[in-house]
Amino acid sequence: MLMGLIAGLISMFKFKKRLKMCLVIENVNNVTLFEYKGKAYDRDKFIELEVEYLSSRNLDRKTLQKHLEEYQSELINSKTPDLVAATIEAYNIVISKM
């Protein structure tokens, strides 16, 4: 149980780090944005970083597909649909490259 908690905390820390790298501070042209917790983020950069992260985890296709299905079902009732949609796109890219 403790190991699961630690793994969850590490995963959350890495997610927040990737999200912070996508934060848009200035008004930028030609950038697709999404909003999360009142801040604007670069959608394409987020997807790129998620693809790198997912690829580095060396997950098999079945596991990736399971996670993708979980995100797709979450999208319907999500309070952050733009973030979930970007995550789904990252999973689709990783799965299509397999």
3-55 per-position pLDDT tens digit: 778 988 888 999 999 999 999 988 778 889 999 999 999 999 999 999 999 99
Q: Terminal CA-to-CA distance of the chain, rounded, Å?
A: 32
Q: Locate tokens 């801040």: which residue?
A: 39
Q: 1 pLDDT exceeds 90?
A: no
Task: Estimate to the nearest angstrom the gap between the alpha carbon of 72 and the chain centroid.
Answer: 13
Domain range enclosing 73? 2-96
Count: domains in the chain: 1
0.85 exceeded by pTM: yes
Report pLDDT for 92.
97
CA distance 85 to 72: 8
Residue 69's SS3 state is helix
Look at residue 50 in the predicted model and tell me its pLDDT: 96
